[in-house]
């Protein structure tokens, strides 16, 4: 039962199984976030098989959130149960359960055996579970995840470009990679922000965008932009209140948890006070990169 | 002890309150559907969910 360790935004998740017939490990971009070991993981997850006919255990539980997609969240006796289902299976069947304690420090993932290809390695925290776990950890006073592209320039300055789908995050990532020697993309779709000793850091995550760029690195946050495509390049500083609202609209809070929502709003408000946020109207070509770099110089 | 006279320069300029609407994207924010097509499992990008699949992308 050798555990696997993932370290995302300085939070470590250990997952393991006692079942020799179950082959597990990180897959896809999550592999880039695998670490050899950790003596004190933030989360420990035990993985096991279950049969499709096994009871799910939601009879007494309260539905806390329905994503409208492949997962629902239930709460029972201070435990949280994620139920994952897909219409690929008979009756829109359940393919995975994930049960966590109230602090999301310990969990169990149960995989419905008939839903997985026999003999193949499985990533039990497969999206969206890995991201949901991270959002719940961050919402407990640790940080915020934003729909954003994070780029570190050759001088180590962190640029955050926030935007919803289609805003131009992957385009921006590609342009900076092409035009700026030494530029590194931490992710072209999801960035975690945390504050440490008064400094805001942006962290790469495995949840990449079209350009499939992600790295297990962090950088001090230098500039914050909200992306807006336009016919010419321009920058407008947003008021702290507007910035906080714009960032919240591009964040991924734990919607079922009022304390986490409060924390997210507070975190983004403070960040907007301390790190001016700018609306970047940009043309989708290299001139946008040059424009931003000149505005920094 | 008289009250301090406020100089005209220290007066705050009145700005009319404005209502700003911020667009939310709830379907993106709740991670409801698939994103990654690079893993093995039921939620992989090839699944045929009733809603449009959220494959890797921004």
When pLDDT is cut at 50, 70 and 90, the band that residue A103 belongs to is: very high
- Chain B residues lying within 8 Å of A89, measured CB to CB: 42
Encode pLDDT of A135-167 as tens digits. 999 999 999 999 999 999 999 999 999 999 999
- Say whether pLDDT at B29 is over 50: yes
Instruction: Verify whether the Cβ–Cβ distance A70 to B50 is below 8 Å.
Output: no
> Which residue in B16, B33, B36, B44 has the most chain A C-beta atoms within 10 A of its own C-beta, making it the best mutation to test that interface?
B36
Q: How far apart are CA B48 and CA A198, in angstroms?
A: 46
**Averaged over A58-75, what is the pLDDT?**
94
Angle in degrees, 0-180, between the axes of helices A169-179 and A286-296, rounded to the nearest 10: 80
Please, what's the largest Cα pairwise distance for chain A? 63
Least confident piece of the model among A14-18, A82-86, B40-44: B40-44
* Per-residue pLDDT at B56: 44
Cis, peptide link before residue A128, omega less than 30° from 0:
yes
Q: Are A194 and A201 in contact (CB under 8 A)?
A: yes
Encode pLDDT of A23-52 as tens digits. 999 999 999 999 998 789 999 999 999 999
* Comparison of pLDDT for A281 and A56, the residue scoring more: A281
* Percent of chain A scoring above 90 in pLDDT: 88
* Per-residue pLDDT at B48: 43
- Say whether pLDDT at B13 is over 90: no
* Per-residue pLDDT at B57: 45
**Averaged over A260-274, what is the pLDDT?**
98
* Per-residue pLDDT at B5: 60
* Per-residue pLDDT at A220: 98
* Per-residue pLDDT at B17: 87
Instruction: Verify whether the Cβ–Cβ distance A249 to B50 is below 8 Å.
Output: no
* Domain boundaries of chain A, sorted by first residue: 4-130, 144-296
> Which residue shows structure tokens 């500083």?
A237
Is the CB of residue B32 less than 8 Å away from at least one CB of chain A?
Answer: yes
- Say whether pLDDT at B51 is over 50: no
Q: Are A159 and A153 in contact (CB under 8 A)?
A: yes
Encode pLDDT of A162-202 as tens digits. 999 999 999 999 999 999 999 999 999 999 999 999 999 99
Which residues touch A262 (CB under 8 Å, ≥6 apart)?
Answer: none
- Chain A residues lying within 8 Å of B23, measured CB to CB: 164, 249
**Averaged over A239-248, what is the pLDDT?**
96
């Amino acid at each position: 039962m050798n555990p696997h360790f993932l370290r995302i935004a300085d939070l470590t998740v250990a997952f393991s199984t006692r079942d020799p017939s179950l082959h597990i490990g990180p897959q896809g971009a999550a592999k880039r976030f695998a670490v050899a070991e950790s003596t004190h993981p933030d989360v420990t997850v035990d993985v096991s098989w279950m049969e499709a006919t096994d009871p799910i255990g939601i009879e007494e539980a309260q539905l806390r959130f329905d994503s409208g997609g492949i997962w629902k969240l239930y709460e029972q006796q201070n435990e949280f149960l994620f139920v994952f289902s897909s219409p690929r299976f008979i009756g829109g069947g359940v393919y995975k359960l994930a049960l966590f304690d109230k602090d999301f420090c310990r969990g169990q993932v149960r995989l419905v055996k008939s839903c997985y290809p026999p003999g193949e390695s499985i990533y039990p925290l497969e999206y969206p579970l890995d991201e949901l776990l991270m959002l719940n950890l961050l919402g407990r006073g640790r940080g915020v995840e934003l729909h954003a592209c994070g780029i570190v320039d050759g001088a180590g300055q962190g640029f955050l470009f926030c935007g919803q789908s289609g805003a131009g995050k992957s385009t921006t990532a590609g342009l900076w990679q092409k035009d700026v020697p030494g530029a590194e993309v931490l992710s072209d779709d999801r960035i975690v922000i945390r504050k440490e000793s008064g400094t805001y850091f942006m962290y790469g995550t495995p949840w990449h965008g079209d350009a499939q760029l992600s790295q297990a690195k962090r950088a001090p946050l230098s500039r914050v932009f909200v992306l807006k495509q336009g016919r010419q390049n321009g920058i407008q500083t947003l008021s702290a209140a507007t910035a906080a609202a714009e960032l919240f609209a591009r964040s991924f809070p734990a919607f079922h948890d009022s304390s986490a929502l409060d924390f997210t709003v507070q975190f983004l408000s403070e960040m907007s006070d301390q790190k001016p946020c700018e609306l970047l109207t940009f043309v989708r070509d290299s001139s946008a990169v040059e424009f931003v770099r000149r505005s920094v110089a | 002890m008289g009250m301090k006279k406020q100089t005209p320069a220290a007066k705050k300029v009145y700005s009319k309150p404005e209502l700003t609407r911020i667009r939310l994207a709830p379907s993106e924010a709740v991670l409801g559907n698939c994103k990654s097509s690079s893993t093995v499992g039921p939620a992989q990008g090839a699944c045929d969910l009733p809603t449009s699949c959220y494959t890797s992308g921004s």
